[in-house]
Chains A and B, each alone.
Chain A
Amino acid sequence: MSVASILATFATAPLPAAEILAPPWMAHLWFVLLCLLLTGYAVLDGFDLGVGIIHFLIGRNARERTVHTNVIGPIWDGNEVWLVTFGGGLFAAFPLAYGSIFSAFMVPLVIVLFCLIARATSLEFRSKATGRWTVLACDLLFSVASIVATFVLGVATGAVMEGVPIDPAGNLVLPGTMTPGGPGPFAEITFALTPFSVTCGVLALTLFALHGAMFLNLKATGITETRIRGAFIGMYLAFLGSLLMATFLAFRDVDAASGFTLLGGFATLLNVLAIVNLAWAMRQRGKWRCFLASTVMVTAMIVLFGSTIHPNLLVSSLDPTWSITIQNAASTRATLLTMFVVVVVGIPFVLLYTAITYWTFRGTVSVEDVPEDRTA
């Protein structure tokens, strides 16, 4: 088909009814929706990844660590579903971005998937294991997998903010492609590693660690509580340090971060308030306030991420005109509208199920509940 005949088809195409029902900003609404799904994932899986990160820091022996696995045992599965839905939503609403981002980050994603499955497996194995060393091996796998998954997710988020070398067709151009030797053996990973993205990885680690600790604080009593209180200052300072570092590097390296947006400013303000409030609430031993504060912090991070990349979904670091924008990557408006209806009807149910699950498993777990002879 020639370009002219395509244009002709387009000019004569009748205006579908969906054109009126689904205005052009429908795509942006979907962007917001996806940010919400990502927030849901970061808040929910954030704390169970976080519990994994501080698994050995807070739990000093197998019995104490059993408290952690008992707390997140019934809920991690439902939390990860948010990631699946985010992936599905991205596929449906922005197929172009889905194809480009996922194929560019293929290797990091495989690492994340590997870790998520390894986490699930180690939790399962742990509940069946009886030997001391088996339990320790499961604990180690669980913790390392949580750490690696969080770090890689953080790095990928940072790399998306900073921009990725993609060609006009939206495919990744590996660094070194133009050199005689071709791309290096680890180019699929190294393309994403910059000072900013690595700092984002560390920031994700410290943030989720804090968030996980606040969730554990809420759900566990006894010795676990004491240990969290003891480790709090260290985790808090580590988070503050990586946040300041990431902010500095964002202004230095990320083009989009230098411009001020109302939403970005609001998120920053919210973040600062939450960070201050977290320390204050911890002093006053307000467990719910602590958890709320860390939840707001995670949410603010995602809002900052969203407001930074908007109106792009993936910035091309080679040529800005090759960037994949929200409008260009979007599915047809009819599909966006159909899917929007599906989501609007579906979300209340989803929240209801989540609420039912958490209500069923309300209450706290303590190390005294774990029998001494059964570590798992």
Chain B
Amino acid sequence: MEFLTDTEIMSRIQFAITISFHYLFPPLTIGLGFLLVAMEWKWLRTGDPVWERTARFWTSMFAINFALGVATGIVMEFEFGTNWSEYSRFVGDVFGSMLAAEGLWAFFLESGFLAVLVFGWDKVSRRFHFFATLMVCLGSTFSSIWIVMANSWMQTPTGFAVEPMLRDGVPWVVDGQPVTRAVLTDFFAAILNPSSVNRITHVWVGAATMGSFFVLSISAYWILRGRHLAVATRSFGLALVLAAIGTVGAMMTGDANARMVAVHQPVKLAAMEGVYETSDTLAPLTIIGMPDDAESKMDWEIGVPGALSALVYRRLHDAEGHPLSIPGLDLVPEDDRPMTAVVYACFHIMVGCGTFLVGVVGLGIYHWLRGSLWNTRWLLLMFIIGVFPAAIANQTGWFTAETGRQPWVVHPASPRVDPDQGAMSPLWLVDPKRPESEQVRLWTPGDPVDDLAGWHYPYGRRIVTDAKGEHRILPAGVDPEEGASISYDGTKSMRTSDGFSKALRSGAVLWACVMFLLIYLMLGMLWFVVLNHKIHKGPDDHTPGDGEGGLIVAMRRALGEITSMTGLRGGGSK
């Protein structure tokens, strides 16, 4: 339990707790927001009271999730200052402005109109209510754009410079060290950094999956029980369409993301796929396996030969016929490696959940088109439990992204020479122990690997190319000489261990963790009680005389009905 007295580890744990709990809600509300707009649109066009009841019910569901998202979001914002003050001081000029923009543009929009959405049913016109729904949906989408852009800037930072900080006009020196900070030089380059578009789309499809499976799960439960059928089947249909977009989109954007990671964060990719050793053959795609960080190898590995190389490079051999391999963790000094087991496990859980959901949605559409969906009880049950893999995939996806870039809080820019060349470009490797003129070399996937001992990714170092075209490592604190061009600048980054608040004692952070766990327990209880109440009561004013209570009980019953395999047809109706 040594970590309990380590302020950095405790601050990381506190952040992990608060953001994991927070992130249960935003994807749900973003996804549900898309569906609400569709439902209200249907109601506005048709005037059908069933659509009204549908929209009303899901709006009330939206409200509770949204409120929890806001409440837990406030904690996130303040935590940057309380626990990560060194980080905040370093990145405030860039990251802080994105966060503030989010607050002003998006947060107000959604919070302001949410009240109209939830409480205004009988107070405003249908048209205005639809407009309010649209605004809330737009607001939460804008919100996600700003937040993901800010996070992406931490992953693949661009559009900034690191400059000395001034105090009363002169450089500010603390303990003999000049204090520096990241300064915004190009706003659009910073927000449209190499990873932001890829990551935003992936977050959206994740949100679509989460929101749609929330609706699918509850609707499927009602259909199984034969209750609220009009509302349930309509909700199910709309949500199934969104779920199809979400799950298939998640595969496509996920692939694009992995290729982006291969270019900009090769260490993260190696950890995600459990590539410990660089080899000169094609890299297999591990399906089953357990990473062993202590031994730096994979246990019980079963993989598809060459599939990882094929996914990353879209071909197997370069122009000269060399096999395209994946650079592994052995090129990274131990201090610069993430916790591979965690990254690997989270990534594979996410992919596993996603694959399961694609299967369920595919079968759902098949049976829907055949008209047999409402009677396929085992599939409806899959839809009921599908909300859990959807939430787990969203969580583990972010775990992968955030643990994979450790030990950096602001990741160094890509160690590749030219990001425009994509994943095919060669890697810079350095070995500071060699004579100065031989310290830098290029390694292209497919090159022999038996002579790679001692060579590393140049994280935290700067490489210059002089006039003669020779490369060497620039020692820290030396400005590049005239005529030399900087190929890679690793000094523009921040380690997580430099980012936490130095003023904090670990005891205070531990206390804060306990306080937050307490409040999250309370919020979780509230969430469960409200949801259970609403699901049980349903969208209709009259509740069928059904004394039995609770989602869990009903699910157990549904399970029992399925194991008996009898009375499938119409068994759920009362």
The interface of chain A, by Cβ under 8 A from chain B, is: 1-3, 5-7, 9-10, 73-75, 77-78, 80-81, 83-85, 87-96, 98-107, 109-111, 113-114, 116-118, 120-121, 124-125, 128, 168-174, 183, 185, 188, 325, 327-328, 331-332, 334-335, 338-339, 342-343, 346-347, 349-350, 353-354, 356-357, 360-361
Contacts and interface: CB of A to CB of B under 8 A. Distances in A.
Contact of B92 (A74, A91, A325): A91
B52 interface: no
Contact of A99 (B92, B107, B515, B526): B92
B557 interface: no
A203 to B, nearest CB: 24
A108 to B, nearest CB: 10
Contacts of A350: 104, 108, 112
A273 to B, nearest CB: 32
Nearest to B116: A360
B500 to A, nearest CB: 9
Contact of B97 (A3, A7, A185, A338): A338
Contact of A118 (B107, B112, B175, B522): B522
A347 B108 CA distance: 10
Contacts, number: 259
A345 to B, nearest CB: 9
17 contacts: A1-B178, A1-B479, A74-B115, A81-B111, A95-B88, A96-B165, A100-B85, A102-B85, A106-B501, A106-B512, A113-B75, A169-B174, A170-B85, A171-B85, A171-B502, A172-B503, A343-B104
- Rank and list the top 9 A-B pairs by shortest CB-CB distance, nearest first: A95-B92, A102-B81, A353-B112, A99-B85, A88-B100, A91-B96, A103-B85, A92-B100, A88-B103
Nearest to A91: B96
A33 to B, nearest CB: 11
B104 A361 contact: no
B103 A84 contact: yes
Contacts of A360: 115-116, 119-120, 123-124
Interface in B498-544: 501-505, 507-508, 511-512, 515-516, 518-519, 522-523, 526, 529-530, 533
Contacts of A169: 174-175, 179, 502
Contacts of B74: 80, 83-84, 87, 113, 116-117
B83 A74 contact: no
Given A3-B171, A99-B86, A169-B174, A114 B519 contact: yes
A49 B479 CA distance: 55
B379 interface: no
Nearest to B79: A102
- Chain A CB count within 10 A is highest, among B85, B479, B519, for B85
Contact of A2 (B77, B97, B477): B477
For chain B, the bracket of interface size reads 35 or more
A95 B80 CA distance: 10
B100 A334 contact: no
Given A2-B477, A128-B530, A360-B116, A91 B88 contact: yes
B508 A77 contact: no
Contacts of B507: 185
A325 B172 CA distance: 13
Interface string B118-147: 111001100000000000000000000000
A339 B101 contact: yes
A91 B533 CA distance: 40
Given A106-B504, A331-B93, A356-B116, 15 more contacts: A3-B173, A6-B171, A6-B178, A77-B67, A78-B115, A85-B104, A87-B77, A87-B78, A89-B100, A93-B100, A95-B93, A102-B80, A113-B74, A325-B168, A356-B113
Contacts of A335: 93-94, 97, 183-184
Contact of A128 (B93, B516, B529): B529
A101 B109 contact: no
Contacts of B366: none
Contacts of B181: 95
B92 A357 contact: no
Nearest to B72: A117
- Chain A CB count within 10 A is highest, among B64, B104, B178, for B104
B189 interface: no
Nearest to A81: B111
A177 to B, nearest CB: 10
Contact of B477 (A1, A85, A100, A183): A1
A88 B508 contact: no
Given A95-B93, A339-B97, A104 B503 contact: yes
A95 B109 contact: no
B114 interface: yes
B533 A128 contact: yes
B368 interface: no
Nearest to A120: B71
B572 interface: no
B228 interface: no
B519 A99 contact: no
A110 B79 CA distance: 9
Contacts of B431: none
Contacts of B78: 87, 102, 109, 113
Interface string B544-560: 00000000000000000
A109 B70 contact: no
B119 A74 contact: yes
A124 B530 contact: yes
Nearest to A89: B100
Interface string B366-399: 0000000000000000000000000000000000
Given A124-B64, A171-B502, A349-B109, A95 B166 contact: no
A84 B107 contact: yes
B171 A338 contact: no
Contacts of B100: 85, 88-89, 91-93, 339, 342
B109 A125 contact: no
Nearest to B95: A91
B312 interface: no
